[in-house]
Chain A
């Protein structure tokens, strides 16, 4: 067991965790933030994507103890009074069906737009599709996810 201190969605947290606890288990089971999902066990699906110090990370690829001292943002932490433009874009463009991959898609989408804006690169359809390689959706055929992220990128 180790004691870790970190900030999750703006809240300071200190907790004892097992050294083999994955960050996603810590988020779901210890903090009960169940918007972050687990869709596979090989770090392929991206349903568990969160932001660690502003970067998009699959929270199943990281131990909770590695997040000691980090700033974590989960799907529950991105709406600021009103929906984040990426959340709104998914609703506006029917970018989700069953909703299970959606938190990961939104977290990956925000990170993607931020990176492309920071480096002044155009985020066109091919770029969005390439950037989504780490996130699997079984419902939408990605068509409306791509449109959602493109739409949000004009509003962020």
Chain B
């Protein structure tokens, strides 16, 4: 068959999206549907002194107005962070209480205090505006770097000085010694700008309670419906697990922000029980900016030592990470085990020490956003490398080459064990594709037109395939991070694959089918991927951390092993052959060295009629598997960005962007390249356009698409995406994961290109025309003074 692994198969799922037939959560409308509108705090920090719902309750269509006291009174549990981090003094992290509806105190603008359930959306929203909440306003703390300062407002009583934990990784003494012994030390202070994920589909939930069965059904915009069911049941006590069905139908993008179980899903479920109505809530974009978990928001000082030959001696990092007003589900893992463990980058570093302090502020909670910790690590390392090369008068590519890890497996000083790679190969390929050799001439030509031209590198590595369960358990994770699959051969010979991975743009319905098609040499049309429904799929940990390929597909592959075994036994029995001689080819099951064969429909029928099966064989032909990875996978590559800047306006144009990536085995290069394009698009957004900004009073100033700059088509170039694949030895297919690399690798390449062009390192993301122009001016003033 031509549509197996490596084929550029056009997506099977596209037709429903291109014809308007996709079914997203907001498209669900039940009989007698009621609608929820939330009453949200307009203050960043305040005590709630009273809620008067009497006017709202009398308004047309209002079914109920519910508040936090009733919610907690019904035993609904607080929202939790699922990864326990221990401070370096062995104390546990200071997790503050987070009720789905605030009771005594609100801690960020948008914190929900009550909900109105009404017959129509309009009636619900009108009544929500009529709920009178009395607040005693408190001073707010907003800024990451100063959140621990004496006198700063306190967000949670159990987190003195707003410190959640003070954590470290690596050998501090060895690192200090390495820095002290260095012949050159490069120092840098960087901010990793806070971002809003902005999947185009706003979050939505439709909850329905069946009183006779005491059963709940929740449609929701989730990347991991089984995790949602588990958490809603085990921790929030909304419903017992066997009485709760969670369906994540078509989901319009996630990028991390749809991993978490938010207050709105909890409240809709609870309200459906209280009101005996199906309750629907769909976020407005304004609510999305206020309440979808944000990403990044680090402030870092770092120092890297080099010997006289340019070899790295040590890397020391101090980071403050802002987690917002409450600890979201995986918030603690992002600036720790998903960040500090990648700080070796692609380089041999004898010693690394990283200290991370996380802080509460009166801002929206911060959690994983595309890349989650790894973009922050990569941005830091790659800006340091570029700065160091400039300070030492070395070519930035050569400094990288001099320090590349060349032998594998390689144990870094920060937990990770890289299983394979070809770092010089990625750089070679990117340099050739980007025509680095011709850059000097292009720069000179641009200068003749009064333009500044710059070129920047990023040689990134990240960790995907989250994650070996025992290892993450030992580091504080509250869940195992395996994946499960079931492969069903139907009596007519077609195949259904049930997977715990969730597709919300990744094209699993095509790429997963390709793997099974390849395995059994069947047409991809004969294979259907089923996902996103806890009543259909046995279990699953969902899609994030580019884990669907390395973990989800491995589970499918493992289930295929079991199916293949049984298929061979049935065929051998029916064809009077040895199972060892049976193989799959051309849509049939054949016997080696003979012309004997059976169609899959014949095998399927035999399995399900069970009239003539090998002795002791159970009827049926479906097998399940759980796959727990043995290691992370390590996608890596080289991004090269070339920019041209108008010094009069500060406007930056990306004239060429080249990516040479190693994702291991490529299942469908068409889909892989699409993931890279999208990732780079978000990377350009972070580097040049996007930033969540709060006023000192905690008011969100970037709360709409008129204030928060989303990348648009004319902000971006076309991208040159090359592959330099080294299959991973850590999983059966050799895949590494491709969902986040674009967003991880690209921001430093862009910033290194811009700083190369303007001749100063003093530039933070986003490199807006205003910021770039000011950096150019400041640099000119500095040079004039010298």
Contact = CB atoms under 8 A, between A and B. Distances in A.
Interface of A: 32-42, 44-45, 47, 74-76, 79, 83, 87, 90-92, 94, 96-103, 106, 125-126, 128-130, 132-133, 135-146
Interface string B505-535: 1110000000000000000000000000000
Interface string B279-296: 000001110000000000
Given A91-B11, A125-B718, A138-B710, A102 B505 contact: no
Interface of B: 10-11, 13-24, 26-27, 29, 198-202, 250-253, 255, 284-286, 504-507, 670-671, 673-674, 677-682, 684, 704-706, 710-714, 716, 718-719, 742
A138 B370 CA distance: 12
Given A91-B10, A97-B506, A138-B199, A76 B714 contact: no
Candidate in A40, A42, A130, A138 with the most chain B CB atoms within 10 angstroms:
A138
Contacts of A138: 198-200, 253, 255, 678, 681-682, 710
Sorted nearest first, the 5 A-B pairs with minimum C-beta distance are A35-B20, A141-B681, A99-B17, A100-B252, A98-B505
B285 A39 contact: yes
A33 B670 CA distance: 31
B153 to A, nearest CB: 31
B19 A39 contact: no
Given A138-B198, A138-B682, 18 more contacts: A34-B23, A39-B201, A39-B202, A74-B20, A76-B21, A90-B18, A92-B10, A94-B10, A94-B670, A97-B253, A98-B505, A126-B714, A138-B678, A139-B505, A140-B678, A140-B681, A141-B716, A146-B713
Nearest to B286: A41
A87 to B, nearest CB: 4
B682 A102 contact: no
B285 A40 contact: yes
A96 B17 contact: yes
Contacts of A41: 284-286, 704
Contacts of A35: 19-22
16 contacts: A39-B285, A40-B705, A44-B705, A90-B14, A96-B11, A96-B18, A98-B201, A99-B16, A99-B17, A99-B22, A99-B505, A133-B714, A136-B710, A141-B678, A141-B680, A142-B713
Nearest to A140: B678
Interface of A is mostly: loop
Contact of A36 (B13, B20, B285): B20
B60 to A, nearest CB: 13
Contacts of B19: 35, 75-76, 79, 83, 87
Contacts of A129: 713-714, 716
Nearest to A21: B122
B11 A47 contact: no
A97 B20 contact: no
A17 B110 CA distance: 32
B714 A136 contact: no
A133 B14 contact: no
Contacts of A101: 200, 252
A143 B252 contact: no
A45 B505 CA distance: 18
Contacts of A38: 26, 202
Given A91-B11, A138-B198, A140-B681, A83 B18 contact: yes
A145 B710 CA distance: 16
A109 B252 CA distance: 20
Contact of A94 (B11, B252, B285): B11
A95 B21 CA distance: 17
B704 A42 contact: yes
A130 to B, nearest CB: 5
Contact of B17 (A76, A79, A102, A133): A102
